[in-house]
Structure 1
């Protein structure tokens, strides 16, 4: 009997008066967190205070990626990650590790690898060193990040240095190594674009399910799928498709986590109230679809405050208005989105 067979056999299956502070939501069954940028963390005391006040979970946004840790092939630089993790530990917050394997954010030497032997050796060494350093301190890892090709029909795997040199086995190598080094860690496959109504997105959901089953059939532990949830404000949510996806993962005894939530509002009107209502409504629709099927293990936004977001540069508006993708505005005041997050955190348990 494979591990998946064993799991299948044993597996069962905006609110008034809500405040946005961590203290007010401390009994919420679903932890809330944010990715944190080390540069902003060091420079802005209000940013540090907001992370402390609102978050149960901290995710080092970039400082556990290869580019930050391995700019010198001969040694590891843990300075940024150590700083953020120490902050989380002082404040009783959990830490999610992001990410042990990704095809991007690689140092030049890693991009220049040419052989299977070299790639496998470096991948295993990297995971062994990083996971061992934070064993017992980081309980959840995004082991593999964004391995699904945007359109997985017919080729499901994204074209990366790892795929070119190791083939699809690079996913197995990463999960197997992480599980060996820290058997108690939760191991997650993290990817994007699972929520819109189209055949392409449906194929992405199916590909994620197929990857989970392949790992389980080889008795390789996988505990969760991270749904990034970079939501486009102009696009609808495929509520039925999301529900079926989360339910299918549940039948495999695999949880979901919302790992990089934000709202891309570049095509909405400039009016702030209009955008904030639309963003809150979209997040509500999405969270309702997920939680109706199965409560996520965590809800994490990709940043906490509108002042600091990748969306400003990646999805710039054509007018002079600033993007408002996150639960706190540029002055660290909670928005309607934060009320929605707290409502689902409280009700979905």
Structure 2
């Protein structure tokens, strides 16, 4: 079992990566301090893994909240549904929440944990590529609003992240590939060697080779843990993890949450960011082509929706969380393996690429 540590002083926590981890009750016992547990999951993951998790927690008083599946369900209404369940069942501050599912479940459960009685413990059990390599690590929790993605939330760290790569065996191919967009992101923004490793391991990744997936997930989690440890609340370098997200979140909001998977929108967004870099003479066209080719290898989109142009993007990007004093800021690659936060992108350049 690979064990990483996200170093945040008294709020540090482990990230466990291996196969078969949801069958290990000792991992849960190490991070649950009370006698009550509430599992939050969705109606796709629950039939696959809920009973298995509950069997490992037989010594606890357990109940569950099962939400509908999908990005559209990361809503204030479902946040309230979790709160109502916790209150109606008289959960206290010693309750631990368990987020069993992908990024939507992890985000909304973490936000509920941050808010219920001003903060209770929670554990992440991510079951998708996207959540295993990105959203389960780092303590960003949120729900969506029709006017903006992840605009209502909190920075709130879990007690542990338990990544069982066996859960990827039941993941649909489209969801798997969408998660790989976030994997590729790490290579583009800060690790050229990892980007090149991905280029040479496409077939192994697509074949769900256990050793390859473990190494891939471990590398992504370590990269994110290092960045979060140095900038927990995104005051500086952590913003680099939003490569492709300024454009991607605009696509999700404009198209309707769930029409494009998050990773698909980020994929198109990273290409747009790379096109900005080409227009600004920061990278060569050959680098853009390598980025596009790696994304295409996993059947990911490299172009924005046809019904979105400059005006459609701008109305959403004006609400982006990275903006300061109304100034748009973008994460732009200046080489494969290096990115910068830039606020000098002109509207003319944006119009050119959009």
Q: Smaller-chain TM-score range?
A: 0.3 to 0.5
More strand as a share of residues? 2
More helix as a share of residues? 2
TM-score in terms of structure 2 length? 0.33
TM-score in terms of structure 1 length? 0.33
